[in-house]
Amino acid sequence: MGRQKRKKYHRGDTFIQKKFRTRRRTKDLDQIDDDMKPDNAEKLLNQDIDHDLPGAGQNYCLHCAKHFVDLRALKEHFKGRPHKRRLRALKDQPYTQKEAEAAAGMGSYYAPQKRTVETQKVIEKEMDQSEN
């Protein structure tokens, strides 16, 4: 008895491999850094109601760029390991073009500085009970 032949039907299909790799792709740290600027953060945290997003777009984690179904799920996310990991990664300032040129020998290099990143404040919205 010999070994059975392995079937390699999808061996050269790179588009299938890319699809699986990019399915759960999130925003990069420099994109999140742009979102954390006060003007952009205000827009993202106070979005209009969009029924296509989870929780109608009202429960959004700014640091992880994720929407949540309800406020309880958002608070549980703040206690979790992935959120804390993301906060730790955002403590370093993102690289700039000036820093890249300095590393290549076109100026003096200064190491990126640390900054403090706090979890966003959750505003509990009161539901109007007069509709019942």
Does residue 120 contact residue 63 with C-beta atoms inside 8 Å? yes
pLDDT confidence tier of residue 1, bands split at 50, 70 and 90: low
- At residue 17, does pLDDT exceed 80? no
Handedness of CA 121, 90, 30, 75 (dihedral sign): negative
What is the per-residue pLDDT for 101?
A: 86
What is the per-residue pLDDT for 114?
A: 86
Give the burial class of 64: count Cβ atoms within 10 A of its Cβ; 0-12 exposed, 13-18 middle, 19 or more buried. buried
What is the per-residue pLDDT for 106?
A: 81
Tell me the average pLDDT across 58-77. Answer: 92
- At residue 131, does pLDDT exceed 60? no
109 CA to centre of own chain: 29
48 Cβ neighbours under 8 A, 6+ residues apart: 57
Tokens at 57, concatenated = 């777009």
- At residue 24, does pLDDT exceed 80? no
- At residue 121, does pLDDT exceed 60? yes
What is the per-residue pLDDT for 13?
A: 67
Domain 26-104: CATH architecture, name and number where available: 2-Layer Sandwich (3.30)
Distances (CA, A) of 47 to 5, 26, 92, 128: 55, 19, 27, 19
